[in-house]
C-alpha cells in the first residue's frame, strides 16, 4: 500500500542521512550491539551484509531472504548513518522508525553534538518510462520556458540533457535548505538507435539542516522537523508541479 505521495509513481521512498565531521569507529561490538537493539524492536530487519565499500547494512527480508515491500533499512558507514523505507505504508510508520533509530544511535554509536555536520531527508519518486527521459522532461515542464527555443526549437533534433537541479534556503541563515532534482537515465545510444529500455525517471526532494546554527539539538526532534518541511513542500509544490505532470505525460504516451 502506497502513501498518498506515491499514488502517481511506480516507487516512492524516504531516506535519511546524518553526516558526521569525524569518522565512526565501526568496531564489531559497537555495530552488533546497535543492530541487535534495532532488531529487537523490528524483528523483520534480519538481513545483515557488508558492501564492497565496507558500509554495513541491516534490512528487511522475508523467510527466503528476498527483499520485501515495505522495506526498512539501515546503513552504517564511517562518515554517516543512513536509513529509510521503500514504499512506506504511512507517514507515521516512517516517523516511528526514524524516531526510534535516532533515540538509540547517540548512546550506541557514541555521537556528540560537536560531531554532527548535517542531516538530510530525501523523498524519492520513481516513474518508469521507456523513451527519452530528457525530451519528456523538457516538453512537460519547459515548453513555455524562455529557454524552450533552445532545448525544444528547430535546432534541436533531440533533447539529450534536461536534468534540472534547484536549491532554496528555507531560512535567512541558510541553515535549512531544500533541493529539487530530476534525474534522467536515458543514454545517447538509446536515442541514436531508438531502442529504449524501461528505466526509472526520478524526482528527488531533499531537505537539509546544518548543525550548530539552530537551537534544536535533539536528533529525533530535528528529523521530525525535516519531515514536516518535506511533507509540506512535497504536497504543495513537488507532487502537483513536477511529479503529477510527468506521470500524466508518461501515461499519455504510447508504451
pLDDT value of residue 214: 60
The β-bridge partners of 128 are: 200
Residue 89's Cα: distance from chain center in Å? 16
pLDDT value of residue 90: 82
Give helix 91-109 / helix 219-233 axis angle, nearest 10°: 150
Strand order in the sheet with 199-210: 45-50, 56-60, 71-77, 80-86, 11-20, 116-129, 199-210, 176-183, 165-169
Residue 246, all three cell numbers? 510527468
pLDDT value of residue 2: 57
- pTM recorded for the entire structure: 0.93
Q: List the pLDDT tens digit at each of the 255 positions of the chain.
A: 456 888 889 999 999 999 999 998 888 999 999 999 999 999 989 899 999 888 999 999 766 666 667 899 999 999 999 999 999 988 888 999 999 999 999 999 999 888 899 999 999 999 999 999 999 999 999 999 999 999 999 999 999 999 999 999 999 999 999 999 999 999 999 999 999 999 999 999 999 999 876 655 789 999 999 999 999 999 999 999 999 999 999 999 876
Q: How far apart are CA 83 and CA 223, in angstroms?
A: 12
Classify each residue of 208-233 as buried b or exposed e, where b means 16 or more C-beta atoms within 10 Å of its C-beta: bbbbeeeeeeebbebbbbbbebbbeb
From the list 23, 14, 13, the residue with the least C-alpha distance to 80 is: 23
pLDDT value of residue 63: 65
CB-CB contact of 223 with 98 (8 Å): yes
pLDDT value of residue 77: 95
Q: How far apart are CA 89 and CA 102, in angstroms?
A: 20
From the list 148, 128, 147, the residue with the least C-alpha distance to 139 is: 148
The owner of cell 513542500 is 233
Residue 78's Cα: distance from chain center in Å? 20
Residue 100, all three cell numbers? 526510534
pLDDT value of residue 66: 66
Q: CA end-to-end span of the chain, whole Å?
A: 25
The residues, ordered by sequence, that sit 6+ positions from 90 with a Cβ below 8 Å of its Cβ are 3
Amino acid at each position: 500500500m502506497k502513501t498518498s505521495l506515491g499514488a502517481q509513481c511506480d516507487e516512492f521512498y524516504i531516506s535519511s542521512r546524518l553526516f558526521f565531521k569525524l569518522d565512526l569507529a565501526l568496531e564489531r561490538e559497537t555495530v552488533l550491539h546497535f543492530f541487535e537493539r534495532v532488531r529487537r524492536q523490528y524483528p523483520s530487519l534480519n538481513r545483515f551484509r557488508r558492501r564492497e565499500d565496507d558500509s554495513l547494512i541491516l534490512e528487511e527480508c522475508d523467510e527466503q531472504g528476498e527483499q520485501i515491500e515495505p522495506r526498512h533499512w539501515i546503513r552504517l558507514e564511517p562518515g554517516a548513518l543512513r536509513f529509510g523505507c521503500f514504499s512506506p505504508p504511512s507517514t507515521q510508520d516512517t516517523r516511528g522508525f526514524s524516531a526510534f533509530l535516532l533515540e538509540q544511535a547517540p548512546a550506541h554509536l557514541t555521537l556528540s553534538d560537536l560531531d554532527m555536520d548535517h542531516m538530510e531527508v530525501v523523498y524519492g519518486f520513481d516513474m518508469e518510462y521507456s523513451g527519452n527521459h530528457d525530451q519528456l522532461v523538457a516538453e512537460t515542464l519547459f515548453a513555455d520556458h524562455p529557454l524552450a527555443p533552445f532545448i525544444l526549437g528547430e535546432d534541436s533534433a533531440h533533447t539529450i540533457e534536461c536534468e534540472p537541479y534547484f536549491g532554496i534556503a528555507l531560512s535567512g541563515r541558510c541553515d535549512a535548505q531544500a533541493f529539487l532534482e530530476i534525474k534522467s537515465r536515458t543514454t545517447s545510444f538509446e536515442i541514436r538507435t531508438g531502442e529504449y529500455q524501461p528505466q526509472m525517471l526520478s524526482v528527488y526532494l531533499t531537505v537539509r539542516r546544518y548543525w550548530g546554527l539552530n537551537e534544536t539539538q535533539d536528533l529525533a526532534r530535528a528529523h521530525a522537523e525535516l519531515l514536516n518541511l518535506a511533507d509540506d513542500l512535497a504536497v504543495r509544490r513537488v507532487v502537483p508541479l513536477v511529479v503529477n505532470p510527468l506521470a500524466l505525460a508518461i501515461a499519455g504516451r504510447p508504451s
